[in-house]
Amino acid sequence: MARRFLFVDDSATVRAFLKRLVRIAGYTEEKIVEAENGADAIKRLKEQSFDLVVTDLHMPVMTGIQLVKIMGVSPELRRIPVIVLSSDGSELRIEELKKAGASLFLRKPCTPETIRDALVHTLGEKPEPPAAPGTT
């Protein structure tokens, strides 16, 4: 399934983990773009279109909440669903994210199944399972 994802996290390990989960869930890995912080994400969002943004909350340069707020006031960007992943899951923080336009909040650590289900729920579709080895 050709969906374009933008993964925003200052941890290369987390970005690699998300890429692997998306591939396992049946989405095409070539359609995944990475950003190290919110400012880098805004640059990428202006360069190309995406179907979904998954972002961390606490990052240097520009935080996830700042990214969500900027996207929320942009006519071009506010249509893109945003999933926020963070260990900072206070009720106040979650409410702030919802008001800013976040589609979903997931508390770290998340299981692969939780992230997969969040992608499917947010995109409103079930991806095709990956092809069995040796069948393509």
In a domain, 42, yes or no: yes
| Contact in structure between 49 and 4 (CB atoms under 8 Å) | yes
Q: How many domains does the chain have?
A: 1
Which pLDDT tens digits describe the chain residue by residue (136 residues)? 578 999 999 999 999 988 888 887 777 666 899 999 999 999 999 999 999 999 999 999 999 999 999 999 999 999 999 999 988 878 898 999 999 999 999 998 888 888 888 988 898 876 555 555 555 5
Residue 135 in any domain: the answer is no
Tell whether 37 is covered by a domain: yes
Using H for helix, E for strand and C for coil, what is the string for the chain?
CCCCEEEECCCHHHHHHHHHHHHHHCCCHHHEEEECCHHHHHHHHHHCCCCEEEEECCCCCCCHHHHHHHHHHCCCCCCCCEEEEECCCCHHHHHHHHHHCCCEEEECCCCHHHHHHHHHHHHCCCCCCCCCCCCC
What is the domain range of residue 87?
5-123
Q: The domain that contains 30 carries what CATH number?
A: 3.40.50.2300
pTM check: above 0.85: yes
Rounded CA gap, 122 and 135, in Å?
A: 30
Give domain status of residue 128, yes or no: no
- Is there a domain that residue 109 lies in? yes
Nearest to 33 by CA among 83, 18, 123: 18
**129 lies in some domain:** no
Establish if 134 belongs to a structural domain: no
